[in-house]
Amino acid sequence: MSAHFKKKSAKTSQAIPTASLPDIIFMLLIFFMVTTVMRETELLVRTSLPAAEAVEKIEEKRLVSYIYVGPEMLEGNRYGEDSVQIDDAIVDDLFEIRNIMYRKILEEPRMIISFRVDKEVETGLLYDVQGELREAETLRINYSTMREGGS
């Protein structure tokens, strides 16, 4: 009996073939590389988004340009005035927005502006920013929200 066992184990190779391991890893790697969106801007304002139910997915992410509105984050977990951030800087004067947006829309006419606005911000500021967008003829916008239920 024991002789039989010995013979059998001797015939088959015990090693797991690892030649295809890099391929598997590369597949995973490529998947994550494709799905990764690097955070290209550092947030200078707090944006805790409100939740909504009747939402859609953001499509054509390449066309989306973000505007962040919220209380400015100061040192030591304090918050300052409500401010508007475009790309990686805070816009001091709201009138500058139309120039920034005008330049952007020239580069990409199909641009969509996505608002990431803090829950607590007063809508007056939002209206001012939207007024600037209208001046620059960038009319396609959306409001980023959380999905209701899955906070």
Partner 1 sequence: MLKRRSQRKAEIPTATMADIAFLLLIFFLVTTTINVDACISMQLPPKLDANVDPPEIQQRNLLNILVNNTGDVLVDGQFMAISNIRAEVMKHVTNEGRLSNYSDNPDLAIVSFKTERQLPYGTYIDVLDEIRGAYVEIRDSYSQEIRGVNYATYRGQLGEDDEDEVKTKYPIKISLAEPDAGGSE
Shortest separation between residue 75's beta carbon and partner 1, angstroms: 25
CA distance 44 to 31: 31
Shortest separation between residue 132's beta carbon and partner 1, angstroms: 11
Do residues 137 and 148 touch, judged by C-beta distance below 8 A?
no
Q: Which is nearer to partner 1, 10 or 33 (CB)?
A: 33
How many residues are present in the chain?
A: 151
CA distance 151 to 139: 29
Amino acid identity of 116? R
Instruction: Report the side by side order of strands in the sheet with 78-86.
Output: 89-91, 78-86, 64-74, 112-117
Site for partner 1, residues 121 to 150, rule: CB under 8 A = 121-124, 126-127, 130, 133-135, 137-148, 150
Q: How many residues bind partner 1 (CB under 8 A)?
A: 52
Write b or e for each residue in 11-22: b if 16 or more Cβ atoms lie within 10 A of its Cβ, otherwise e. eeeeeeeeeeee
- For residues 20 to 49, the per-residue mask of contacts with partner 1, x marking binding by CB under 8 A and - elsewhere, is -xx--xx-xx--xx-xxxxx----------
Shortest separation between residue 10's beta carbon and partner 1, angstroms: 26
- For residues 75 to 114, the per-residue mask of contacts with partner 1, x marking binding by CB under 8 A and - elsewhere, is ---------------------------------------x
Do residues 84 and 94 touch, judged by C-beta distance below 8 A?
yes
Residues contributing to the site for partner 1 (CB under 8 A): 18, 21-22, 25-26, 28-29, 32-33, 35-39, 50-58, 69, 114, 117-124, 126-127, 130, 133-135, 137-148, 150
